Structure 1
Amino acid sequence: MPTGTHPPLQRGASQPLAGQLAERYAQRIRERLLLPGARLPSVRDCARQHGVSPHTVVAAYDQLQAAGLLEARRQRGFFVRETRPAAAASRAPHPAAAPRQAPMDATALIRGMFEADAARSPGLGTLPADWLDPTLLQSALRRLHNADAHAVQVSYGDPSGDERLRVALGQRLADLGIHAGPAQILTTHGATHALDLIIRTQLQPGDAVLVDDPGWAIMFARLTQAGIRLLPVPRGAQGPDLDVLAALAAQHAPRAYLTVSVLHNPTGHSLNLAGAHKLLRLADEHDFFIVEDDSYGFLAPEHLPRLAALDGLRRVTYVSGFSKVLTPAWRVGYLAAAPERLRALTDTKLLDGLTSSPVLERAVALCLEQGRLRRHAQRLRERLATARQRVSALATRQGFTWAAPPDGLFGWLDVGVDTERLAQPLLDAGWLTAPGALFSATRRPGSLMRLNMATSLDPAFWRALRAAVDDIRGPATPP
């Protein structure tokens, strides 16, 4: 019998066990759940996980090599091929249905989030729906319908964004110490769209860009797709390793640094004031601009330092949005920048989709006005603080430790084994996780995983995690 929790292969079926196993891995490779260069389990590990003999695994891997999907590397193991001829894809088996697979890249992680049940998704990147405030949204829509419907529904709207929203955003930024009037603010279809506008407007293929490592998997994918060279900067509890950053900047002359200064995704850490000052000095010294992603800013205390406040939007472009605290269904984000940067970004937005939605933007403005969204965010911070205490207690009870004390929505948990190996057995048991390799610019394996404080409260998950870790480690060696 298999020792893990993989769906069992069907003994006695018309297709041999080796063929079933090959088909399972072929499906993962076709769907890019196993990326080129990914290493498959060793023959011994795979045999133990699926309850078959090593001979069956060798036969399955031979079939995958014959189909052009795998390559064997001497004394290293079996790896997904870097390139795959089209003919190989046509020869690969196509089962009618396949079990859910653990996320192996940014696209798979997003797909898993859309399909997931939040109650069983410790790796989720957002708050669960029942933490949000539908009455706040409904009230804004009613007010919009009663007072502003005609004004915002019969035209494209302002290319820079709804003016009433930009005025409200100017006040929000002032509360953070960032002085930007409506003329320095551009609204977007969410924070991700704002970052995409910056990439397409201010960067070119071949440019070198500094990024946090660990960092946001989706941003790594977007930058790579645009032909950008990534320069990973190690991220610790106090922020980026500025000595490494300085060395990379001196060697590669980067064009920009994309970072999260407050409640960093995935670690939850925040940049301290001394680090922020030193980072801005390095940007001046090496002439690169900074993109500060503050997508989780509403979940953080306002007193935490923002680079844009210290810099006055001179080198820093500030990005944020509302999906994390208001609703992911309203794709409303924004950026604040120096006027000379903003003009080019507005032109890209016009070419991209003319304008953003004036209806949704006005509704968000109504949520911001009179402090209703601020009070909602305060309630979320208090609820998250309680959740972090409970999750920390559950982790300690099962013998796990954190890379640093968790903060905000996320914690960076050390489980002691490769979390990419751990992801599939947990998903087979019904738990969607986010292994640390997803957040590495180089897909470096390791023992860390991102946990969502709001969706990791079930003791059953922690028991399943403990069991899966122990299963991978195998029987303890007697002293």
Structure 2
Amino acid sequence: MGGLSRGGGSTLTEQLAEHYAQRIRQRLLAPGTRLPSVRDAARRHGVSPHTVVAAYDQLLAQGLVEARRQRGFFVRDRRTPELRPAMPRAAPAGPPLPPVDATALIRGMFHSGTDQPAPGLGTLPLEWLDPALMSTALRRVLGQTEGALALQYGQPAGDLRLRQALALRLGGLGLQASADQIVTATGATHALDIVSRALLAPGDAVLVDEPGWAVEFARLTQLGMRLLPVPRGADGPDLAVLETLAREHRPRLYVTISVLHNPTGNSLTPAGAYQLLRLAEQHDFRVVEDDTYGELAPAHLPRLAALDGLQRTLYVSGFSKILTPGWRVGFVAAPPSLIERLIDVKLLSTLTTPAILEQALAYCLEQGSLRRHVERVHARLDAARQRSVQLALAHGCRFVTPPQGLFGWVDTGVDTEALAQRLHDQGWLLAPGHLFHASRRPSTLMRINFATSQDARFWRAFDRACGR
């Protein structure tokens, strides 16, 4: 945010109130977020405490915030009861539905108002991508089909040429799946949604990693599921906790990331993967393996679906992270008995997926151009990770898990929700730790993207925002 104007047509109080009102309406400040204290806001914006109090009073009058005695001002949840997920049957006793609002981070990606690198972003920098690779593939496919693919619906399960190419690619990971066991989707998130809608009913219990991806928490919650968080550390999921939760709540699914976990960056060991699959069999739940960032991982790391042979597992991945966020092609590989059910859900949600993009991706896989692009990204990411780690350590951060892959999970020593607010005013997008927990809680942790955290300007701004 630029400085408040003392010569404008509105008062400082009105400008300050409008600043926070805009952020609340854009969902950049999620329901339940605590506004800066009066003293902190006065210091940050260069105004008197009286001006801040008056601005907060205006937000109260507009119904945007609520005052909690001796705690401060908090963003109100203005959703009406009619918009909440329906619960057609009583859920067994267990953890309550969490107040998740993942859209704050997502919206922040589109409302940054700056071209500065975004340390909290979940994607590669634009300059790392290869638009020529995609345009060449699209031209080739359009030339081969004379544009016919754009004039008709795609195949229900997805383009056969792509599914065959994916089957070969999965074979390189040790995962044997035929093209008939693959259903394409509009990105990995859509594939996860297809699986959830096909296999779950409102009130079902679902195991999830914690910390984990906020979008998955919010999506499952919106579908009416009960989340059972499994603590995730440097050695992977806490299998003792998982076993207790499975025994007490009889979950239907465990949605997890086995390789380059988001946000911790760790990967399962073969022994841990084997024990996890034994627990799934013992307690009769399926495992949904989200391998969204698998293109950034070494191929030799064990995938649960490869060890299990797609018996009790479903494997989900996509190419938006490595190609471009706008080219949304994902897929799920599943046991044969589930394929028709998955296709039915896909047809009801999107009819079909775009055959042009799917055949263009198949071309990239067949010609090896995607493989070469991935190799270049790996080299750049290794160098970026080394520099970002050095900067983070030099500025007082501690890595909770060993730095690997695209993300670092760091302890800053300060409340990262408040830190994210302060840095957002300066154009820096952070991913504070509370977004990665199934229920809202204060956190000193944050996720950094190694590819976008190399800018020394960010770390200087970080120090100032921390009061160092």
Q: TM-score when scaled to structure 1?
A: 0.87
Counterpart AA for 2:388? V
What are the within-5 Å matches in structure 2 for residues 333-344 of structure 1?
333-344=330-341
**TM-aligned CA deviation for residue 16 of structure 1:** 4.2
Residue 142 of structure 2 is matched in structure 1 by: 145
**TM-aligned CA deviation for residue 304 of structure 1:** 0.6
- Retained in 2: the 8 A contact 1:118–1:128? no
Q: C-alpha distance in 2, partners of 1:18/1:85? A: 29
- Retained in 2: the 8 A contact 1:313–1:338? yes
Match of 1:449 among 416, 427, 446: 446
Residue 190 of structure 2 is matched in structure 1 by: 193
Match of 1:21 among 16, 29, 37: 16
Question: Are 2:339 and 1:356 equivalent residues in the alignment?
Answer: no
Counterpart AA for 1:34? L
Q: Secondary structure at the match of 2:263?
A: coil
Residue 476 of structure 1 is matched in structure 2 by: none
Residue 102 of structure 2 is matched in structure 1 by: 106
Residue 76 of structure 1 is matched in structure 2 by: 71
Match of 1:40 among 35, 39, 45: 35
Q: Mean Cα displacement is larger for which, 307-316 or 365-374? A: 365-374
**TM-aligned CA deviation for residue 119 of structure 1:** 4.7
Residue 237 of structure 2 is matched in structure 1 by: 240
Unaligned runs of 5+ in 1: 1-5, 87-103, 472-479
Question: Are 2:423 and 1:423 equivalent residues in the alignment?
Answer: no
Summarize deviations over 1:150-201 as a string: whole Å, max 9, x none: 6644432321111111111111111111110011001111111111111222
Change in 2 beyond 3 A, CA 1:153/1:248: same
Q: C-alpha distance in 1, partners of 2:260/2:135? A: 29
Summarize deviations over 1:314-357 as a string: whole Å, max 9, x none: 11110011111122232211110011111101011122222111
Change in 2 beyond 3 A, CA 1:35/1:109: closer
Residue 162 of structure 2 is matched in structure 1 by: 165
Q: Secondary structure at the match of 2:347?
A: helix
Residue 461 of structure 1 is matched in structure 2 by: 458
- Retained in 1: the 8 A contact 2:414–2:466? yes
**TM-aligned CA deviation for residue 27 of structure 1:** 2.8
Residue 62 of structure 1 is matched in structure 2 by: 57
Counterpart AA for 1:227? G
Counterpart AA for 1:256? L
Q: C-alpha distance in 1, partners of 2:146/2:188? A: 25
Q: C-alpha distance in 2, partners of 1:360/1:13? A: 50
Q: Secondary structure at the match of 2:41?
A: helix
Q: Secondary structure at the match of 2:451?
A: coil
Residue 437 of structure 2 is matched in structure 1 by: 440
- Retained in 2: the 8 A contact 1:118–1:455? no
Q: C-alpha distance in 2, partners of 1:365/1:37? A: 44
Q: Secondary structure at the match of 1:37?
A: coil
Task: State the aligned residue count.
Answer: 449
Unaligned runs of 5+ in 2: 82-99
Residue 208 of structure 2 is matched in structure 1 by: 211
Q: C-alpha distance in 2, partners of 1:22/1:189? A: 39
**TM-aligned CA deviation for residue 115 of structure 1:** 4.7
Question: Are 2:306 and 1:315 equivalent residues in the alignment?
Answer: no
Q: TM-score when scaled to structure 2?
A: 0.89
Q: Secondary structure at the match of 1:318?
A: strand
Q: Secondary structure at the match of 1:454?
A: helix
Q: Secondary structure at the match of 1:264?
A: coil
The runs of at least 4 consecutive aligned structure 1 residues that moved more than 6 Å come to none
Match of 1:125 among 117, 122, 126: 122
Summarize deviations over 1:24-83 as a string: whole Å, max 9, x none: 333333333333322222333233323333333333333333433333333333323344
Change in 2 beyond 3 A, CA 1:134/1:27: closer
Q: Mean Cα displacement is larger for which, 72-81 or 346-355? A: 72-81
Q: C-alpha distance in 2, partners of 1:127/1:142? A: 24
Change in 2 beyond 3 A, CA 1:215/1:158: same
Change in 2 beyond 3 A, CA 1:453/1:85: closer
Residue 89 of structure 1 is matched in structure 2 by: none
- Retained in 1: the 8 A contact 2:400–2:410? yes
Match of 2:256 among 250, 255, 259: 259
Q: C-alpha distance in 1, partners of 2:30/2:111? A: 20
Q: Secondary structure at the match of 2:460?
A: helix
Summarize deviations over 1:229-253 as a string: whole Å, max 9, x none: 2222221112112222222222222
Counterpart AA for 2:269? N
Counterpart AA for 1:359? I
- Retained in 2: the 8 A contact 1:68–1:84? no
**TM-aligned CA deviation for residue 300 of structure 1:** 0.3
Summarize deviations over 1:94-151 as a string: whole Å, max 9, x none: xxxxxxxxxx942232233235566521111111122122332233223223334466
Q: C-alpha distance in 2, partners of 1:139/1:68? A: 52
Q: C-alpha distance in 2, partners of 1:291/1:56? A: 51
**What fraction of aligned residue pairs are identical, expressed as a percent?**
63
Q: Secondary structure at the match of 1:360?
A: helix
Superposition RMSD in Å: 2.3
Counterpart AA for 2:140? R
Counterpart AA for 2:75? V
**TM-aligned CA deviation for residue 390 of structure 1:** 1.1
Residue 86 of structure 2 is matched in structure 1 by: none
**TM-aligned CA deviation for residue 363 of structure 1:** 0.8
- Retained in 1: the 8 A contact 2:211–2:232? yes
